[in-house]
Homo-oligomer: A and B are copies of this chain.
């Protein structure tokens, strides 16, 4: 048995998810030997702190993957598409958080609480991390599926600005500052649009507004984000025929995605039983006592690891359906944490091997 701890590369170390990743790597049990931080050439030489030590960022290049056992990627799709195979060819197992490989039949899409066993099925040496919106609900939905057999999901999202990266966060703060002084805004069509000025990465104002759009336009009016929720849920749960309708909406929240989920199963459900079952599921916290104002909200969930579930109700008109409201930190479980959990499964292989 090897005593060498595996070497990790963090590609995209300077982004919004990368920043949370360094925090996560500094606070979880350490399973890594060397940690290399990699980013675009313009960040090369920048010093970042991980595990209490300053580490210089290296520019993305084939050689940075030499000797790397596991490489986490959080970069745009096109960068992953080019560079993940390069890292894999140099012997690293890649855990990729882009959309580049998620629907590739030779790349598993892994949520450790749901389908950890898929991590070994990686013919390309690449494992994909799901989209943050899917990740914000799938641990809870997966636990319910195991008990009741999922047949349909109707999902509406309340997605945070940080899903659009640091530019999304900055835009929301800028807009909030611009609307804060005028207590007449939001009463006449277009007054908020005129006040906020720059829209940043969003197609409409986000302060004092909600925007029913995330991602790019796909066939028949669906957004890429909505199709990801459908296609990734199907793949993670191993249900290729699962019926899914999602409407993805951006809300003026900094970080933490929320979802209203109407889930239908093949058998009758019981709300109390579902509550107990979720409460005993790894990675899930139940907060469901509305009489005492106990339900998850993004402002109270942000910065935490679990999926928080509340408002658990059996449909009044269909004993096979549950209605839920869930919150998950889109930068932690929705991105960096799930990536770290997958990487830790790989680290355990190296340590055991």
Contact = CB atoms under 8 A, between A and B. Distances in A.
A219 to B, nearest CB: 9
A187 interface: yes
B318 A243 contact: yes
Chain multiplicity (copies):
2
A255 to B, nearest CB: 6
Task: Give the 6 A-B residue pairs with the shortest CB-CB distance, closest first.
Answer: A186-B254, A156-B156, A180-B180, A243-B317, A203-B293, A192-B299
Contacts of A243: 315, 317-318
B311 A188 contact: no
Given A210-B251, A323-B247, A193 B300 contact: yes
30 contacts: A176-B179, A180-B180, A186-B253, A186-B255, A186-B302, A187-B255, A188-B302, A188-B303, A189-B304, A191-B302, A204-B299, A205-B299, A209-B297, A210-B253, A211-B297, A212-B258, A212-B260, A213-B290, A213-B295, A217-B290, A217-B291, A221-B271, A223-B290, A243-B317, A244-B316, A245-B321, A247-B325, A251-B251, A252-B252, A262-B262
Given A244-B317, A251-B158, A212 B180 contact: no
Contacts of A317: 152, 230, 241-245
A105 interface: no
A220 interface: yes
A187 B316 CA distance: 37
